[in-house]
Amino acid sequence: MRERTGRRRRGGAAAAAIEAGPPKSPQQAQRRVRNPYRPIEILADDALDRIHDASITILEEIGVDFLSGEAREIAKTNGADVREGSERVRFDRALVMELIAKAPERVRLHARNPDHDLELGGDALAFCMVASTPNCSDLEGGRRRGNFKDYQDFLRLSQQLNICHLNGGYPVEPIDLPPSTRHLDALHALATLTDKPFHAYSLGRERIRDGIEIARIARGVDAQTLAREPSLFTIINTNSPLKLDIPMALGIIEMARAGQIVVITPFTLSGAMAPVTLAGALAQQNAEALAGIAFAQMVRPGAPCLYGGFTSNVDMKSGAPAFGTPEYTRAAQISGQLARRYRLPFRSSNVNASNAPDAQAAYESEMAVWGAVMGGCNMMMHALGWIEGGLCASFEKVIMDAEILQMIAEYLQPIEVSEATLGLDAIRDVGPGGHFFGTAHTLARYESAFYAPMLSDWRNFETWAEAGSVDATRRAHALYKQHLAEYEAPPMAAERREALDAFVAKRREEGGAPAD
């Protein structure tokens, strides 16, 4: 792969090698990604209004079951219709809109390394490592249950790859760690192996409080600063249709109180947990998302929330969920329209249903990625490594996605149109029938003129065949290993590290979060 290295090493490569030691794996430099284009609008305003109206009718007339008594109490106190002896919570139109309006339009997610702070909202776009898969795989070891070794390797890749901006949970579930203390080890690893923002699961009050405390210690700030500077996020999946379970409700309560970010993402699979029609599934998604966000605003007005869209469909023959389909893409883009209607940052995903990191994984992912980007996504979950509809994290897919996302980031860069770049003098000098290889205009620019790939192989067929006809998936395997070999843990001030270790040790002694 050496001859495919990034643009940094073009020209003067020998000198650079002496200074910098062995060549690093190719990749683009770290950058913040901004999307300058107007999002695609799948629905006209009146159709979007009809979805909004239907979701408001759902909240007014049908309501949502809140399984937590504490949550129902908060809802009742804040004007929702909650009746004795029922879990049902109904919201009237004016209440919902008043609450939603309190959520900020954009929010800054802080990392322990400020270089990795992220804007969420507006034209900003952030890419998140795969999360929450029970299995992982690579070509060498095959498919296996999640474990702490692989978990840490995914975190190392999330740190190593510049195009990965944050972690969105556990890339793979470290099933070999005991459940009561797993979150302590997993969060400790997130806070030490990476210095990018991260996520804690809403799995009960103790775990989410531990997550908030670990994020605070890792940043070295007090609770007041943490509340002003969100440094942790949690994904709230409503239990579609129209239910919010106790751990999720407690997650909203604890995170909103602490000023941390809540991403409400109903998992509305059209044909299973939501109507078989996209319009119906989206009306239900929107009702659930609005209920969750309105509830967070009841807990703490101004609590930072993201609007998450995850509507896809099931294969009606097998019941298996499908991802990266035309339905998924349109649902994601309509979700973006809805999020912008409510002036909320929009969370989407990079998804596919392929059983291997192959061409299907690539083309289904591209449907999701282009759909998300053109739909105004601000935070792309599962952006690197997801396969099998979320049942597996693939090391090779991490690299494949890194290339896809790097290309998107470069595509979103503006193009300079000036006298210098129009190059009329060069065109005049070369004239009809000539070529531009040796011109001064070319020589002054060739080193950084074009995107340099990390995974794509542009050698001619003969050279590629002589080198063993290695396809993209097998090249991705070599590259992920190379990136792991080059990984270096980000520095952490000794006192923060000690405080973190001590907190985890103390909580472990206390038994972590015993199953209740």
191 closest CA partner among 211, 164, 173: 211
User: Between the CA of residue 254 and those of 212, 221, 250, 366, what are the distances in Å?
Assistant: 9, 18, 6, 36
Task: Give yes or no for residue 141 binding a copy of itself (CB under 8 A).
Answer: no
CB of 324 to a copy of itself, least distance (A): 8
Maximum separation of any 2 CA atoms in the chain, in Å? 85
Q: Which of 221, 246, 430, 478 binds a copy of itself (CB under 8 A)?
A: 430
CB of 456 to a copy of itself, least distance (A): 5
First to last CA, the chain: 51
Cα–Cα dist 378/106, whole Å: 10
User: Between the CA of residue 6 and those of 10, 159, 378, 411, what are the distances in Å?
Assistant: 7, 18, 27, 17
Which region among 56-64, 95-103, 249-257, 337-345 touches a copy of itself (by CB under 8 A)? 56-64
355 closest CA partner among 142, 157, 150: 142
Residues in the chain: 516
Which region among 187-195, 201-209, 339-347, 396-404 touches a copy of itself (by CB under 8 A)? 396-404
Residues 150-179 that bind a copy of itself (CB under 8 A): none
CB of 70 to a copy of itself, least distance (A): 18
Task: Give yes or no for residue 466 binding a copy of itself (CB under 8 A).
Answer: no
User: Between the CA of residue 456 and those of 3, 128, 407, 472, what are the distances in Å?
Assistant: 12, 22, 11, 7
Count other Cβ atoms within 10 Å, centred on residue 143: 15
Q: Which of 160, 167, 311, 313 binds a copy of itself (CB under 8 A)?
A: 313
Cα–Cα dist 243/63, whole Å: 9
Position of tokens 């949550």? 71
Which region among 152-160, 182-190, 335-343, 430-438 touches a copy of itself (by CB under 8 A)? 430-438
Cα–Cα dist 169/258, whole Å: 19
Q: Which of 212, 218, 252, 274 binds a copy of itself (CB under 8 A)?
A: 274
The DSSP element (H or E) to which 20 belongs, if any, is helix 13-20
Cβ proximity of 110 and 230 under 8 Å = yes
Binding mask 195-234 for a copy of itself (x = CB under 8 A): ----------------------------------------
Task: Give yes or no for residue 93 binding a copy of itself (CB under 8 A).
Answer: no
Q: Which is nearer to a copy of itself, 11 or 122 (CB)?
A: 11
Cβ proximity of 126 and 165 under 8 Å = yes
Cβ proximity of 172 and 148 under 8 Å = no
Task: Give yes or no for residue 487 binding a copy of itself (CB under 8 A).
Answer: no
Task: Give yes or no for residue 54 binding a copy of itself (CB under 8 A).
Answer: yes
Task: Give yes or no for residue 364 binding a copy of itself (CB under 8 A).
Answer: yes
488 closest CA partner among 5, 17, 24, 8: 24
Q: Which is nearer to a copy of itself, 104 or 280 (CB)?
A: 280
Task: Give yes or no for residue 465 binding a copy of itself (CB under 8 A).
Answer: yes
DSSP lists the bridge partners of residue 274 as 270
Which region among 17-25, 201-209, 423-431, 507-515 touches a copy of itself (by CB under 8 A)? 423-431
CB of 60 to a copy of itself, least distance (A): 11
Q: Which is nearer to a copy of itself, 274 or 306 (CB)?
A: 274
Q: Which is nearer to a copy of itself, 235 or 287 (CB)?
A: 287
Q: Which of 204, 207, 388, 479 binds a copy of itself (CB under 8 A)?
A: 388
Q: Which of 33, 58, 172, 193 binds a copy of itself (CB under 8 A)?
A: 58
Residues 235-264 that bind a copy of itself (CB under 8 A): 239, 241-243
Binding mask 314-343 for a copy of itself (x = CB under 8 A): -xxxxxx-x--xxx-xx---x---------
